[in-house]
Structures are given as structure tokens and as C-alpha cells.
Structure 1
């Protein structure tokens, strides 16, 4: 019989942009910078927030398309490199954890959960951001789009993140803000909590998550409920 000490710990894996941290201010400032090289006006902040999450290149392409501009791949790659460099230099000027996050992490840790980050942000940028916000120590495992050969919504990153955290699929939960996160959780076989305050073009209530929360004050209860359901 498996002893309590050898039982896998609960792992709560978080997306980063739009879930843990409101990174839109700094991401969109970097976007405006590279767009200005092609005389494109600054993007509308309300609309552009929901374009975040697919990576720097896709964000740039979508902004260019919205402005009616098509560029050669080589130029887009150059813009992407400049975007990443500028963003890295200004990664936490306006980015801040969402309200209630720190207290929510405290409550989960107090119950013995291992916290992890599973993001499609480049790993070095994820670590740079978390370092700047003094959050790195909260997450023993941090994985990004380039940590593994495939990125979300492929199940590999989440499966590997859970394993690296010493957990098992049966005792893991994903927390995210987008369809990518929901699809990742479904492919991995873990329950998923969606936050309503992130970056998504699909209305949060239509993402198909197991639980939808509107503030981090609600996270502990959502996690407890999903863990209880998984034991049933």
C-alpha cells in the first residue's frame, strides 16, 4: 500500500500572461515600438489585450494584418527579435500580479500544494519577469514555450511540468485564461480553472473550463472542489 508520505503532492500549474500577471502594458508597449518602424499607429489597448498569448511573432503579424500590412518573413523575424529585446529590457515597467494572487498562493501552499508555471512565453522571459516581480521562489518549476520540443496546447509541457514538480495527473490542476490552456488541460487529462480577467478572444464563460473565477479570492475553493471531484 502506498504510504501518505509517498503519495504525489497536489500540483497547481499556472499560465503566466493574463493569468498570474497582467503583462499587457509592457507587451503592448514593445509591440508599439516595432510597429512604429512601419508607421503603424499604437494599437488599441482594449482590443489588443486579447491578441496576447500566441507568442511575439503572432502578435506582430496580427497587428500588421489589422493595419493592412503584409511583410516578408525575414522582416517579421527581424521585428520579432527587436520586440523580444525591447520587452526583455522593460519587462516589469507596468506588469503586475493580478489582485489577490499572493494571498491565493499562500493559501494553496499552506495546504501543501506545489505551484508551477506552464506558459507559452519563452522560458528565459518568464523567469526574467517572475524575478523582477519577486515571484520566482513561489514556483519550484517554471517551463516555457521553448523548454520542450512542443508547446501548449500539446500535452507535453503540462505533463512534464507536473512530473518535474513531483506530482501526478490525478492530483494536478491547470489554471489559465485562454482556450489554449483549456485545450492543454483536456489533452493532459487534468481539470482546469479559467480566470475571467485574462486575455482571450473567446468569452471566458465559453472556454469550457471546469471552473470560472473572477478574482483570485475564489481560487482556493475552486481547487478544493475539483480535487474533491477527482477523488470521487
Structure 2
């Protein structure tokens, strides 16, 4: 039987890559500037997924709040640090590269849809020597304001860029699942991601506990 999907899209942070160490380091630079105590990786993980500004605002709220002008200053500081420390601790999740190989063997085209800035996502994938594994990278700023996940727009753009056809989307956040639903494509949640919400709240069409389960989960979804 033919594989049911021609296109598989992936979220980046918490799905393809464990970026929590580098994101936590960037957050803690901003918190130190604000005179706050640092947060642990486990504290920051659930705050990742809605973009850098959303992540920072959650950490500031959790440590005492912040006025708008100070938040803007800290946001710029955090981004400046992160831009030069994208890949210090970041690693692919186990089995990710093998899953990409399996999808390629099934004739799938793959791309990334992330709420991270496109330039950061591209540089990070380049740093890890895996940029060429993805035919396109769509960031939270690629399509302009209001067109990041949970909007359907970036997934529709992914499908268009990859030539059309049946598609599925893989992610770790409620924003990923909502974007997939809004775009009318099946969703797969990774239980090993950062998981701001429970798997039940995310309402994914399938859940995998490791990348070795991805191909079989997609085959069931397309059955």
C-alpha cells in the first residue's frame, strides 16, 4: 500500500529539537538583568511554544511581573543573547534523524513550521548540520503578524511550498494541534515534548512516545 501522506510538517522546539537548555539560558540572562532569580530548564519548558515574546512574558509574570517598557528592553536583550547562543546545548530528540530517513524512503516531503523567528530556526538547523533535511522552514514571522500558529496559514503555506498533496503535522503544543485542525490536516503529538498543556487538552489525532513510532502512527491515521 502507498504511504498515506505526501507531506509531513514538523514543529521545531520540543518536537524535532530539545532547545530547552539554550532557551532557558537566554531567559535567565533577561531575568538576571531584571534582578530576578534564574529559572530551571524544567520550569521554562512549559512556557516554550508560543514564540519568544510569549515565553519571556510568562517567565516575567512568574517572577513578579514587569511593566511594558521594561519588558521590551528585556526582550531585546534576550533575543540578542539567544541569537549568538542558539545551539550550545540544543540536540535532536532521539530517533528524529532515523524518522526523517524513513519518511524520505516513503517518498514524503518534509518541512518545518515553527513560531520561532525564521532566521533563528534556519541558523539553528544549519548549526546542527540538518538544514538540508527540510525542504522549507516557515517561522512565526514568515507570513507576517497574525499568521503564526495556531493560525492555519503557515501549514497551508507549507503544503503549497511542497507541491500540494495529503499532509500531516507533528508537534508538542496546543498551538500545533490547533493549527493542524484549523488547516484540516491530521495531527500527531509527541509526548516527549515541552507540553504546556496535557495531551488530553491538546486533542491530537495520534500521540507518539518516540520517533520510532511516527511512521506507524501516520499509517494508522491515513488508513
> What TM-score range do you get, normalising by the shorter chain?
over 0.9
For 1:187 and 1:80, the matched residues in 2 are separated by 30
Q: 1:57·1:76 contact (CA, 8 Å) conserved in 2?
A: no
Match of 2:116 among 114, 118, 121: 121
For 2:186 and 2:116, the matched residues in 1 are separated by 22
For 1:9 and 1:206, the matched residues in 2 are separated by 25
Question: Who is 1:15 aligned against?
Answer: 11
Q: Encode CA deviations 1:71-117: one digit per residue, 9 max, x unaligned.
A: 2x222122111111111111111000000000010000011000100
Question: Who is 2:46 aligned against?
Answer: 50
Q: 1:19·1:198 contact (CA, 8 Å) conserved in 2?
A: yes
Q: Which runs of 4+ in 1 moved over 3 A?
A: none
For 2:114 and 2:52, the matched residues in 1 are separated by 13
Q: What does 1:80-119 align with in structure 2 at a 5 Å threshold?
A: 80-119=75-114
Q: 2:5·2:168 contact (CA, 8 Å) conserved in 1?
A: no
Match of 1:156 among 147, 153, 157: 153
* Aligned CA-pair RMSD: 1.5
Q: 1:193·1:212 contact (CA, 8 Å) conserved in 2?
A: yes
The higher radius of gyration belongs to 1
- Kindly indicate whether residue 73 of structure 2 is the aligned counterpart of residue 75 of structure 1: no
For 1:189 and 1:153, the matched residues in 2 are separated by 12
Q: Encode CA deviations 1:138-162: one digit per residue, 9 max, x unaligned.
A: 1011100111021111111110111
Q: What does 1:161-176 align with in structure 2 at a 5 Å threshold?
A: 161-168=158-165, 171-176=166-171
For 1:76 and 1:55, the matched residues in 2 are separated by 15
- Kindly indicate whether residue 134 of structure 2 is the aligned counterpart of residue 136 of structure 1: no
Number of positions where the alignment pairs a residue of Structure 1 with one of Structure 2: 219
How far residue 67 of structure 1 moved from its aligned partner, in angstroms, is 1.2
For 2:5 and 2:44, the matched residues in 1 are separated by 38
- Kindly indicate whether residue 34 of structure 2 is the aligned counterpart of residue 38 of structure 1: yes
- Kindly indicate whether residue 114 of structure 2 is the aligned counterpart of residue 145 of structure 1: no
Q: Encode CA deviations 1:147-191: one digit per residue, 9 max, x unaligned.
A: 1021111111110111101123xx100000011011000000000
Query: TM-score if structure 2 supplies the norm length?
Result: 0.94
Question: Who is 1:222 aligned against?
Answer: 217
Which SS does the other structure have where 1:105 is aligned? helix
Match of 2:56 among 25, 48, 60: 60
- Kindly indicate whether residue 27 of structure 2 is the aligned counterpart of residue 28 of structure 1: no
